[in-house]
Structure 1
Amino acid sequence: MEERTGDDSASQISQQTGEARDSSYLLILIRFSRDSTVSDDDEIDYSSKPEFYGPELDQKDEIWARKQRRGHTSDAVLSCPACFTTLCLDSQRHEKIVTQYRAIFVLNCKIIEAATQPGSKRKRNKRGSQTEAAAETFKNVCCSVCSTKVGVIDEDEIYHFLNVLPSEA
């Protein structure tokens, strides 16, 4: 008779449990493949129209969008970068910084009254050198849906969007 050491019996037990684990895993796979059905093109009925699509709804949506924009020509429609909510339908791109926009009329924006940012206006005199003017105060503007900071508003109530997604619509 063959003598077995403690290490041999432990490896034999782990090998048996590994085989049992593998066989139960294989059994689960077989059951899963039998229970689940994969649809072929032959099984799909293309003669019936889907209930969730209405061709007349596209036209209604287009009319609604035109009415919302009121015929304005805008540089971009601005959306929140976090939740894609529309923030502005009529905006003007900054002359030098192409990723910034300004607007007067906005949607889905809230002004954070407590947080203000001091800014400064620089004016050019007749010789072309810059001089400091009175400091301007900016208030933070956030998306009203997800509270992501999207820009600031100045004392003249002009919104300056710094963190938005523009769409060239």
Structure 2
Amino acid sequence: MKREEEKAREGREDSPTESQQTVSDDDVIDYSIKPEFYDPNLDEKDELWVQKKRKGHTSDAVLSCPACFTTLCLDCQRHEKYLTQYRAVFVVNCKIKNGQVSQPGTKRKRGRRHKTSAEPEVDDVVKPVCCLICSTEVGVIDEEEVYHFFNVLPSES
């Protein structure tokens, strides 16, 4: 009996355990079957959808939230002087913080500050705009309902 137990023990030690066996992913995946969620024409379909939404207009960029990468704007115009700022009228996935109002011309920094024509007037009132998904502040909306984005990730359109 001892000999059988020793042989059984020796046999177990020589053969690899289940956790020691390595299986390649290539052995498990059957490449002859078309993947269920793959569409080779998806890029073309997405491009047609964006063109339909823009109604023939060209855009300087597609704007996304810097925190969660959610698309915020498909049709915008880049600021002439401040190259990281954009303005738009039609947006998606944005919410306006109605409880907060700020007046951009009233904050003062130390030292002299020269007002340029690009800065809003003291009378202009703007409301913060946030990403609908993660609530990251991405810009402001003015009284004329124009969105001014300054905290976004632009990508080529």
TM-score normalised over the length of structure 2:
0.72
Q: Report the equivalent of 1:62.
A: 47
Q: Report the equivalent of 1:48.
A: 33
AA aligned opposite 1:93:
R
Q: Report the equivalent of 1:77.
A: 62
- Unpaired segments of 5 or more residues in structure 1? 1-28, 125-131
- Where relative contact order (Cα < 8 A, 6+ residues apart) is larger, the structure is 2
The one of 82, 97, 105 equivalent to 2:90 is 105
The one of 110, 124, 140 equivalent to 1:136 is 124
CA shift, 1:134, in A, is 4.6
CA contact (8 A) 2:104 2:122 kept: no
CA contact (8 A) 2:72 2:92 kept: yes
CA shift, 1:119, in A, is 2.1
Report the Cα distance in structure 2 between the residues aligned to 1:80 and 1:55, rounded to whole angstroms.
27
RMSD value, Cα: 2.6
Q: Secondary structure at the match of 1:60?
A: helix
- Unpaired segments of 5 or more residues in structure 2? 1-15, 107-114
Report the Cα distance in structure 2 between the residues aligned to 1:153 and 1:30, rounded to whole angstroms.
63
Which is helix-richer, 1 or 2? 1
Q: What per-residue deviation string (whole Å, max 9, x for no partner) do you get for residues 5-36 of structure 1?
A: xxxxxxxxxxxxxxxxxxxxxxxx954122x4
Q: Report the equivalent of 1:32.
A: 19
Report the Cα distance in structure 2 between the residues aligned to 1:123 and 1:52, rounded to whole angstroms.
52
Q: Return closer, same or farther for 1:58/1:134 CA change in 2, 3 Å cut-off.
A: closer
CA shift, 1:66, in A, is 1.7
Q: Report the equivalent of 1:9.
A: none
Moved more, 158-167 or 44-53: 44-53
% identical equivalent positions: 60
Q: What per-residue deviation string (whole Å, max 9, x for no partner) do you get for residues 22-58 of structure 1?
A: xxxxxxx954122x41234x66543322222233444
Which is strand-richer, 1 or 2? 1
Q: Return closer, same or farther for 1:66/1:30 CA change in 2, 3 Å cut-off.
A: same
